[in-house]
Amino acid sequence: MNLVVEDLLTDPLRIEVMAHKVLEVLGQLRAAEVAHGDLQNGNLLIDDDLNVRLVDLDGVWVPSLNGSPPDETGHVCFQHPRRASNH
């Protein structure tokens, strides 16, 4: 995602479109009660049409996993500072 933003710095309208598409995907996750677990710029792929794809799904959480320990906690720079490995 960060590379796309760099490419679009002179096109604020397309950045806004991309932002809305990212928010749409996040809304879909919320509605499905799913957490990606590692939403960072390298895990959001944006194509030329500004479609959003999520990758690196090994940190995904779904309600049926409630209470199970995570396999990973994701990139430290994208985690809440009080997140523990048992969250």
Which has the higher per-residue pLDDT, 28 or 41?
A: 28
Nearest to 60 by CA among 70, 50, 52: 70
State residue 74's pLDDT score. Answer: 65
State residue 39's pLDDT score. Answer: 86
**DSSP category for residue 30:** H
SS3 35: strand
Looking at the domain assignment, is residue 87 inside a domain?
A: no
**Domain total of the chain:** 1
Which two three-digit tokens encode residue 58? Answer: 């090994």
Q: Which domain holds residue 14?
A: 2-78
pTM over 0.85: no
**DSSP category for residue 61:** B
CATH number at residue 72: 1.10.510.10
Looking at the domain assignment, is residue 86 inside a domain?
A: no
Q: With contact defined as beta carbons under 8 Å apart, do 46 and 1 qualify?
A: yes
Looking at the domain assignment, is residue 83 inside a domain?
A: no
Looking at the domain assignment, is residue 44 inside a domain?
A: yes
pLDDT tens-digit readout, 42-87: 899 999 999 999 998 877 888 888 887 776 666 777 777 777 666 6
Looking at the domain assignment, is residue 84 inside a domain?
A: no
Looking at the domain assignment, is residue 27 inside a domain?
A: yes
**DSSP category for residue 68:** S
